[in-house]
Amino acid sequence: MSDFKFLVSRDFSKFSSVYSSGEPFPHIVIDDFLNPSDALIGSREFPSKDESSWVHYSHFNEDKCAITDISKMPNFFRSLVSELNSQDFIKVLENLTGISKLKADPTLQGGGLHLTKRGGFLNIHADFTAHPIQRNWQRRVNLLLYFNDDWKDSYEGQLELWSRDMKNCIHKISPCLNKCVIFNTDSDSFHGVPEPLNCPPEITRNSLALYFYTETE
C-alpha cells in the first residue's frame, strides 16, 4: 500500500505568489505531484472503462464518466483521497491559496474519479459554487490530478483555462501523468476540455477531482 503522508509536509506556501497572480484566475500547475512510483501505480490501478461502477454523464455540455462513491474505488485511490481530504493537507492548500477555513467534501459531489473516452468532452464552464447538499458551503478550490501515462498532444484532452469574459483561451494544460492543477472556483473561473478526445479507442483520459469549500452564513 502506498503511503501519501509526505504530501502534508510539502511547502506549497513558496508558490503562493505564483498561485495568486495566475492568469486568467488564481491557479498553479504542479508536475510530479506524487512520488513517481505511486503515480505509476495509480495509472495501472485506475478502473478500466468497462468497470460497472462508472456513471456515464452524456448531454450537450459533457460526455464523461465518474465514480463518486469512494467505497467503489480501488484501495490506492481510497487512501489517496483520504490523505488529500485530511486536515493536514487542507492546511497545505490554505497556505498555497490564501483561503482559510477550507473544508473537504467527504461525499465527493461532482468529483471523484473521472474518465473520458474517445469523442468525450467537457464544454467551457464555471463550476457550481454552492454544495448540492450542504447549501451553506461555497466551493472555493478545485484540485485535479491526472493518471495518463504517455499521453500525446494529438489525443486532445487538454484542460483549457479561459479569460473571465470567455473570449480567449489563456492556457492549455496537457493531462500528463502525475500533473496536478489547483485553481480557484469563482463564478467566472471558466475552464473545460472542449475538444473531443482523439485518442485510440482503448485509451481513456483519467483523473481525480477533489473540491474544497468554505462555510458561509
Q: Which of 11-15, 16-20, 116-120, 159-163 has the lowest mean pLDDT?
A: 11-15
Q: Which residue has the higher pLDDT, 130 or 160?
A: 160
Q: Which of 5-19, 32-46, 85-99 has the lowest mean pLDDT?
A: 5-19
pLDDT given at position 3: 62
pLDDT digits (tens, 9 = 90+) for 20-57: 999 999 999 999 999 999 999 999 999 999 999 999 98
pLDDT of 1 strictly over 70: no
Q: What's the pLDDT at 2?
A: 60
Q: What is the pLDDT of residues 149-161, one digit of tens each?
A: 999 999 999 999 9
The pTM for the full model equals 0.95
How confident is the prediction for the chain on average, in pLDDT? 93
Q: What is the pLDDT of residue 127?
A: 83
Banded model confidence at residue 132, pLDDT cuts 50, 70, 90 = confident
Grid coordinates of 73: 474505488
Over residues 84-96, mean pLDDT: 94
88: pLDDT strictly greater than 80: yes
